[in-house]
Amino acid sequence: MKKRYIIPIVYIAFLMLPIYWLVAMSFKTTNEILAGFSLFPQTFTLANYRVIFTDPTWYWGYINSISYVTLNTVISVTVALPAAYAFSRYRFLGDKQLFFWLLTNRMAPAAVFALPFFQLYSAVGIFDTYLAVALAHTLFNVPLAVWILEGFMGGVPKELDETAYVDGYSFPRFFVTIFLPTIKAGVGVAAFFCFMFSWVELLLAKTLTAVAAKPIAATMTKTASSAGYELGLLAAAGTLTIIPGAIVIYFVRNYIAKGFALGRV
Amino acid sequence: MKTQNNRGWFFVLPVLLLVAFNALIPIMTVVNYSVQETFGNNVFFWQGLDWFQQLLNSDRFHAALGRQFLFTGLILVIEIPLGIIIALSMPRQGVWVPVCLVLMALPMLIPWNVVGAMWNIFTLPDIGLLGYLMNHTLGINYDMTQNPLAAWVTIITMDVWHWTSLVVLLSYAGLVSIPDAYYQAAKIDGASNWSVFRYIQLPKMKTVLTIAILLRFMDSFNIYTEPFVLTGGGPGNSTTLLSIDLVKIALGQFDLGPAAAMSLIYFAITLLVSWLFYTLMTKDDAK
Amino acid sequence: MAKITLSNLRHSYYPNPQGPDDYALKEIDLDWEDGGAYALLGPSGCGKSTLLNIISGLLIPSEGRILFDDRDVTKLEPTQRNIAQVFQFPVIYDTMSVFDNLAFPLRNRGAAEADVTRRVHEIAEMLELTDMLKTRAAGLSPDNKQKISMGRGLVRDDVNVVMFDEPLTVIDPHLKWKLRSKLKELHQKVRATMIYVTHDQTEALTFADQVVVMQDGEIVQIGTPVDLFERPAHTFVGHFIGSPGMNLLPCEINGQSASFQGQPITLEGAITKGEGRCEIGIRPEFVALSDKGLAAKVLKVSDVGRHSVVEAMVGETSIKAIVEGETPGQGADVHLAFDPARTRLYRDGWIATEAKQ
């Protein structure tokens, strides 16, 4: 083994430590946690997980989160696809300005938008629905998806389109049966990043929901503050939020490094 | 070569409508609030640019802005070089590559408040792993609810933990796209390791590093949830960054006018600095 | 500068090669004379790039030794071997000017700045890069970038060998010709040993004094371009070099005489002893239409400019002939005559007639 590998090994160890601590704590009883320091769970318990899987406010939190994240990913990628195609294939009046304006939305602080979103979505009557959170998250996910997809589409030669037209394909049929399969890696990467940023965001998700669409992460914050120090429960809930992310990364592991490299600045 | 075709507008229409609904209406709301005063009951009074003036002269805003720049500056200075070093020392191929990438990407997929909660549990003075080690094994007084320095070190470490991997992944993507011939030519030309880095790897990573710096700037400048969950802005106001302060004013005190004015200035600064970074980092290409 | 000797060289990309098929290079023994212009010619995947990387030190061979003037360099790093190599795709240092690019190998070896300036200007002059010395290398066209790569290879005057790995792949056809003659000219000026790897016979034959033809990790023939054309040592060379390639006719051997479809064929000389499948080989250039000879039916006539290629069928076998002037029409009955001095016998691919003294 080469000497320089020590650097990534130490780095990964550093990344894993807090995660280990969270997971370890989720298997401890509240008594053990409060009694003092222990490196491994002394009295291994699944009680914290049992609470989560039996209490609807907990498990509905998961269902809500997954629902709006999925909805957001679908909306973001669907509207981004034609736009990215236009940016990668055509020059049109104001295209550069439009592209830049889209990207500026990626720079918007969520805190700036929290209150206006609350009012806007209340006004149109979608407050506390999956759609509200999904729409709010398109603010930063659509620009990102357009950016990534444009990069991938730019790598597909224009001759592909022209050949298809010469062969008598209509545009929609060409786009769905030929073009999409060609850039499926890009769609995967864009979907991954949409999933990721929607899954991890909380400020907007929390502001735009009350009961029906409340995300798991918000349920956690409330528990942590209202029920005092139920650290074991908090740790178990936190551990469970890591799992969907881990599954998604596993599926895109071969594309993850390429994803951003192909986007353009 | 791209064709000149205004059909492009037809394709971007869905995005345009969505973003117009999502970005333009809220921004107009903010602009609207920023020039008015309200005492509740939806009664508004024209206020002109007073809120902006007040804000720009307020010590509280200056302090939050200063803390924000300090935070973002430290983040960039630590995470960018560290990410490059880690990417350089990773294996280029083999079974360990996906393992490394998956493990490194993991922190980025944890919800932000869980990140805050996790670090809270990790650093609790008596029962957290790090807190216990610092206080009881190394004998260093470490409690971020009391000590501003400890709070700062912790939020910085937490962000390094959370986001350095993004820089690693991007740099790594840049590195693996360099053809072998470049390394072979450098070897034959007798280049030192430093020269290889300086003249081959760094130039080839430029595009991805530009993206990395821009994303890290935007996200660290807009950071809210993680430090809020971890320190709540304290002790005192020592870790009250811009977003935390803004939410305090907007949702805590419900001072809509000042909050709106602050939002606009905040957004403008983010845009301006992003644009500066972008222009500086791509200016060579224009020549 | 040095003479390069490859001795019992074998290389496999597998850690534990089982049979000969696992070897990218099978048993290479070869001397490259000091100051020669060599071409290494063969189809893609024949092992020529592997061989090149072994000489430059980017690969360590599984077995065998490499000697530079009788000094064993098998285990030395590329830097210590003092060689230069130009790659298929231009390698330039994007952030540097053309001058700095050319100066890079000299500066890395601690050359005095005055010498660096002098050498770089000399090389830039030869390659017609003088006007661009101050510009950034990144924005240049592919052929200029490749000239810079070549320049970096030539800028050191003490290199043992300069190697070119299909350097004209990315160059436009009309510039290919220019760069190729430039290289030939450079070789005459600097007299360094040069090895030029290519799968293009024109490039190999115009550049080299000696061409080494490889196939499946083996050297099949070494010779001057004329040798390769006139008397291929292997049917592969006959087929690979020349356009169209050599005609190969299945034949029967009876003692010292060979016959094709019952007709006796006169060969260049005596048949060597051995067993195996035999073929008669004759280049289209040495097949003539005449009154006597093999009866054949014209299948196709292609006019390729200065001459025509007539493809005629003798039974099931097609034979090509190069004809200048008038050609018979399709379906015409003709007679083909072979030039006996250029008619050779191949057994299992290898030449099996003795050359006339």
Q: Are residues A150 and A237 in the same domain?
A: yes
Average pLDDT across chain B, whole number: 84
- HEC profile for C103-154? HHHHHHCCCCHHHHHHHHHHHHHHHCCHHHCCCEHHHCCHHHHHHHHHHHHH
Beta carbons of A85 and A153 less than 8 angstroms apart: yes
DSSP annotation string for A80-119: HHHHHHHHHHEE-TTHHHHHHHHHHHHTS-HHHHHHHHHH
- The answer to whether B164 faces chain A, any CB pair under 8 Å, is yes
Dig out the tokens for B233 from the structure.
């802005």
Q: Is residue A167 part of a domain?
A: yes
Q: Is residue C125 part of a domain?
A: no
Q: Are residues A7 and A97 in the same domain?
A: no
Amino acid residing at B249: I
Separation of alpha carbons B124 and B159, rounded Å: 17
Q: Is residue A98 part of a domain?
A: yes
Q: Are residues C210 and C303 in the same domain?
A: no
Residues of C in contact with B188 (CB under 8 A): 56, 78-79, 83-85, 105
Q: Is residue B112 part of a domain?
A: yes
Q: Are residues A41 and A60 in the same domain?
A: no
Q: Residue C347: what are its φ and ψ, rounded to 5°?
A: -115, 120
Q: Are residues C225 and C323 in the same domain?
A: no
Domain range holding A65?
Answer: 56-261
Q: Are residues C276 and C338 in the same domain?
A: yes
Q: Is residue A76 part of a domain?
A: yes
Separation of alpha carbons C186 and C192, rounded Å: 9
Q: Is residue C299 part of a domain?
A: yes
- The answer to whether B196 faces chain A, any CB pair under 8 Å, is no
**pTM more than 0.90:** no
| Alpha carbon of B151: minimum distance to chain A alpha carbons (Å) | 17
How confident is residue B99, by pLDDT bands cut at 50, 70 and 90? confident
Separation of alpha carbons B250 and B245, rounded Å: 9
- The answer to whether C94 faces chain B, any CB pair under 8 Å, is yes
Edge-to-edge strands, sheet with C278-282: C247-250, C278-282, C344-347, C350-351
Separation of alpha carbons B245 and B239, rounded Å: 10
DSSP annotation string for B52-76: HHHHHT-HHHHHHHHHHHHHHHHHH
* Partner-chain contact A90 B7, CB within 8 Å: yes
> What was the pLDDT predicted at B161?
94
Beta carbons of C261 and C315 less than 8 angstroms apart: yes
Residues of B in contact with A232 (CB under 8 A): none
Chains in contact with chain C (at least 3 beta-carbon pairs closer than 8 A)? B
| Alpha carbon of B71: minimum distance to chain A alpha carbons (Å) | 16
Q: Are residues C253 and C343 in the same domain?
A: yes
Q: Are residues C343 and C200 in the same domain?
A: no
- The answer to whether B187 faces chain C, any CB pair under 8 Å, is yes
Spatial neighbors of A119 by CB under 8 A, at least 6 apart, are B29
Best residue of B188, B200, B204 to probe chain C, by most C CBs closer than 10 Å: B188
* Partner-chain contact A82 B14, CB within 8 Å: yes
Q: Are residues A124 and A219 in the same domain?
A: yes
* Partner-chain contact A98 B12, CB within 8 Å: yes
How confident is residue B1, by pLDDT bands cut at 50, 70 and 90? low
Q: Are residues C344 and C261 in the same domain?
A: yes
Q: Is residue B35 part of a domain?
A: no
Residues of C in contact with B187 (CB under 8 A): 58, 77-79
Q: Are residues C250 and C298 in the same domain?
A: yes
Domain range holding C302?
Answer: 243-351
pLDDT single digits (tens) C203-212: 888 888 899 9
- Residue A115, judged by CB atoms within 10 A of its CB (0-12, 13-18, 19+), counts as buried
Q: Are strands C162-165 and C287-290 parallel, antiparallel or unpaired?
A: unpaired
Q: Are residues A181 and A81 in the same domain?
A: yes
Chains in contact with chain B (at least 3 beta-carbon pairs closer than 8 A)? A, C
Tell me the residues of chain B between 62 and 101 that have a Cβ less than 8 Å away from chain A. 85-86, 88-91, 98, 100-101
Q: Which of B181, B187, B287 sits opposite C79 (nearest CB)?
A: B187
pLDDT single digits (tens) C59-106: 888 888 888 888 888 888 888 888 888 888 888 888 888 999 999 988
Q: Is residue C174 part of a domain?
A: no
Q: Using the CB atoms, write b or e for B28-61: b if 16+ within 10 Å.
A: ebbeebbbbbeeeeeeeeebeebbbeebeeeeeb
Residues of B in contact with C79 (CB under 8 A): 187-188, 190
Q: Is residue C148 part of a domain?
A: no
The enclosing domain of B70 has a CATH number of 1.10.3720.10
Residues of B in contact with C77 (CB under 8 A): 187
Residues of A in contact with B8 (CB under 8 A): 86-87, 89-92, 95
Q: Are residues C211 and C262 in the same domain?
A: no
Best residue of C54, C76, C79, C97 to probe chain B, by most B CBs closer than 10 Å: C79
The enclosing domain of A146 has a CATH number of 1.10.3720.10
Which of helix, strand or coil describes residue A237?
helix
- Residue C304, judged by CB atoms within 10 A of its CB (0-12, 13-18, 19+), counts as exposed
Chains in contact with chain A (at least 3 beta-carbon pairs closer than 8 A)? B
User: Cβ of B216: how many Cβ atoms within 10 Å?
Assistant: 22
Tell me the residues of chain C between 241 and 280 that have a Cβ less than 8 Å away from chain B. none
Q: Is residue C107 part of a domain?
A: no
Q: Is residue B249 part of a domain?
A: yes
Q: Is residue A50 part of a domain?
A: no
* Partner-chain contact B189 C87, CB within 8 Å: no
Average pLDDT across chain A, whole number: 83
Beta carbons of B28 and A110 less than 8 angstroms apart: no
* Partner-chain contact B287 C136, CB within 8 Å: yes
> What was the pLDDT predicted at A264?
44
Separation of alpha carbons C211 and C215, rounded Å: 13
**R_g over Cα of chain C:** 24
Q: Are residues A128 and A242 in the same domain?
A: yes
Tell me the residues of chain C between 96 and 135 that have a Cβ less than 8 Å away from chain B. 96, 104-105, 108-109
- The answer to whether B20 faces chain A, any CB pair under 8 Å, is no
Structural domain count, chain A: 2
Separation of alpha carbons B87 and B100, rounded Å: 10
**Cα dihedral: A255, B12, B20, A74 (round 10):** -40
Q: Are residues A71 and A135 in the same domain?
A: yes
Q: Are residues C311 and C268 in the same domain?
A: yes
Beta carbons of B132 and A37 less than 8 angstroms apart: yes
Structural domain count, chain B: 1
* Partner-chain contact C108 B200, CB within 8 Å: no
Q: Are residues A126 and A38 in the same domain?
A: no
- Residue A12, judged by CB atoms within 10 A of its CB (0-12, 13-18, 19+), counts as middle
Separation of alpha carbons C56 and C146, rounded Å: 19
Q: Are residues A118 and A80 in the same domain?
A: yes
pLDDT single digits (tens) B121-148: 888 887 788 888 888 788 777 787 788 8
Residues of A in contact with B248 (CB under 8 A): none
Prior bond of C340 cis (ω within 30°)? no
> What was the pLDDT predicted at B73?
94
Q: Are strands B3-4 and A90-91 parallel, antiparallel or unpaired?
A: parallel
Q: Which of C56, C79, C95 sits opposite B190 (nearest CB)?
A: C79
Beta bridge partners of C253: C258
- Token pair 């190394």: residue: B138
Separation of alpha carbons C56 and C4, rounded Å: 11
Least confident segment among B37-41, B250-254, C282-286: B37-41
Separation of alpha carbons C113 and A172, rounded Å: 63
Dig out the tokens for A217 from the structure.
């992460």
Where chain A has pLDDT below 50, the residues are 226-228, 263-265
Which of helix, strand or coil describes residue A73?
helix
Separation of alpha carbons C79 and B75, rounded Å: 39
Residue C33 DSSP one-character state? -
Q: Are residues A11 and A61 in the same domain?
A: no
> What was the pLDDT predicted at B137?
80
Which of helix, strand or coil describes residue C23?
strand
| Alpha carbon of C95: minimum distance to chain B alpha carbons (Å) | 7
Domain range holding B75?
Answer: 51-286
pLDDT single digits (tens) A89-99: 888 887 878 88
Instruction: End-to-end CA distance of chain C: give it in Å, rounded.
Output: 36
With 50 as the cut, is the pLDDT of residue B92 above it?
yes
* Partner-chain contact B199 C93, CB within 8 Å: yes
The enclosing domain of C201 has a CATH number of 3.40.50.300
Residue C318 DSSP one-character state? E
Where chain C has pLDDT below 50, the residues are none
Q: Is residue A51 part of a domain?
A: no
Number of A:B CB contacts under 8 A?
Answer: 288
Q: Which of B14, B109, B119 sits opposite A79 (nearest CB)?
A: B14
Q: Are residues C66 and C211 in the same domain?
A: yes
Structural domain count, chain C: 2
Instruction: End-to-end CA distance of chain A: give it in Å, rounded.
Output: 37
- State yes or no: chains A and B have 3 or more CB pairs below 8 A: yes
Separation of alpha carbons C156 and B166, rounded Å: 42
- The answer to whether B70 faces chain C, any CB pair under 8 Å, is no
> What was the pLDDT predicted at B42?
65
| Alpha carbon of B131: minimum distance to chain A alpha carbons (Å) | 10
Q: Are residues A77 and A163 in the same domain?
A: yes
Q: Are residues A216 and A153 in the same domain?
A: yes
The enclosing domain of C324 has a CATH number of 2.40.50.140
Nearest Cα to Cα of residue C25 among C56, C57, C62, C58? C62
